Amino acid sequence: MEPLLDYSFMVSVVPALLRALPVTLNVTVVSMSLALPLALATALVRISRVPVLRHVAALYVSFMRGTPLLVQIYLAYYGLPKLLNHLGDRYGWTFDVSSIPAIAFIYLAFTLNVGAYASETLRAAIEAIDRGQMEAALSVGMTRWQGMRRVVLPQALTIALPSLGNTVIALLKDTSLAFLVSVVELMGEAKIQAARGLQFFEVYVVAALVYWVICIGIERGMAVLERRVRRFEGLSPA
């Protein structure tokens, strides 16, 4: 009777999957780094109720949360070049759209997607802070922006940190969709190796274990960061 898993083959594909891992991590880090400022700006616009902008921000969040990430990737990959070509024809640009690497569209789609979800996390965290905190800041001569930056936001980020950690983990797993537009990340390489050896189950088990180990690392790292932030803020760790 043949064994359930071909362990020698599983070991042989590990180096190939690890070579694709930097792409997965790169997409995760770059997209999250770009999404956080976008999320904070969106949350502040919605909280401050800036005319017109708050409606634009609400529409952006609603669209990104109401459509599948896969659709958003396709819209970025196929729609943006079409839009740029249209603008080029209209205004006489000579920009070569084909020179844009596929990973740039992945950055765009993931940044916009994560930015929308993270903005709701930050908005809820900011609104959870007692309004008396801002009033106290204003009473000692701070401007509203200074009160937000020095008093409210540090406390809100402490509250939002666990949810943002979950967002990072979700983003890491969602990078598996990047292969659909020819960006070879961890899952994309797994599909290539599986097709070559026709041993799909073994390769996907290895890929699952790699994702799992990375997610455990992120969870541990976020737990350490949360404890340090709470200690710095003078709060008791959970």
Q: Would you state the pLDDT for residue 236? A: 42
- What is the per-residue DSSP string for 60-83? HHHHHHHS-HHHHHHIIIIIHHHH
Please give the model's pTM, rounded to 2 decimal places.
0.88
pLDDT at 237 over 70: no
Q: Given this model, what pLDDT does residue 217 score?
A: 95
Q: Are 202 and 29 in contact (CB under 8 A)?
A: no
Identify the band that residue 232 occupies on the pLDDT scale cut at 50, 70 and 90. Answer: low
Task: Give the tens place of pLDDT for each residue, 8-23.
Answer: 888 999 999 999 999 9
Q: In this model, does residue 234 exceed pLDDT 70?
A: no
Spans of all domains in the chain: 7-232
**What's the whole-number mean pLDDT along residues 176-198?**
92
* 233, pLDDT greater than 70: no
Environment class of residue 9 by beta-carbon count within 10 Å: exposed (0-12), middle (13-18) or buried (19+)? middle
Q: What percent of the chain has pLDDT over 90?
A: 61
Q: What pLDDT is stored for residue 140 in this prediction?
A: 85
| Sequence-ordered list of residues with C-beta below 8 angstroms from that of 46, at least 6 positions apart, any chain | 54, 57, 58, 61, 119, 123
Q: Report whether pLDDT(214) > 90.
A: yes
**Mean of pLDDT over the chain:** 89
Q: Residues 106, 214: contact at Cβ < 8 Å?
A: no
- 121: helix, strand or coil: helix
pLDDT, one tens digit per residue, over 105-122 is: 999 999 999 999 999 999
pLDDT value for 189: 94
| Digit-coded pLDDT (tens) for 34-91 | 999 999 999 999 988 778 999 999 999 999 999 999 999 999 999 999 888 888 888 8
Architecture of the 7-232 domain:
Orthogonal Bundle (1.10)
